[in-house]
Amino acid sequence: MIHYSDFAIIEGLRLNSDFIIRYVYKEFFPTIRYLIKNNAGLDEDAEDIFQESLYIVLKKIQEDDFELNSSFLTYLYSISKNLWLQRLKRKRLHEKNQSELVHFLSAPDSGIEIHVEYEEKYRVFVEQFENLSEDCKRLLRLFLGKMSLKEIADEMGYKSELYAKTKKYLCKEALRKLVENDPSIKALR
How far apart CA 156 and CA 33 sit, in angstroms, is 34
pLDDT for residue 187: 67
Nearest Cα neighbor of 169 from 152, 185, 186 is 152
By three-state DSSP, how is residue 5 classified? coil
pLDDT computed for residue 129 by the predictor: 86
Q: Which residue has the higher pLDDT, 75 or 144?
A: 75
Is residue 169 a contact partner of residue 175, using CB atoms and an 8 Å limit? Answer: no
CATH of range 106-188; options 3.30.1380, 2.60.120, 1.10.10, 1.10.3470:
1.10.10
Specify the fold of 6-90.
Rna Polymerase Sigma Factor; Chain: A (1.10.1740)
d(CA 116, CA 3): 61
Domain with CATH 1.10.10 in the chain: 106-188
Residue 108's SS3 state is coil
Q: Say how many C-beta atoms besides its own lie within 10 A of residue 119's C-beta.
A: 11
Highest mean pLDDT among 6-15, 84-93, 116-125: 6-15
| pLDDT value, residue 101 | 61
pLDDT > 70: what percent of the chain? 84
Integer-rounded Cα Rg, in Å, for the chain is: 23
| DSSP letters for 26-42 | HHHHHHHHHHHHTTT--
pLDDT tens-digit profile of 82-120? 999 998 888 877 666 666 665 555 554 444 444 556 677
Residue ranges, comma separated, of all CATH 1.10.1740 domains in the chain are 6-90
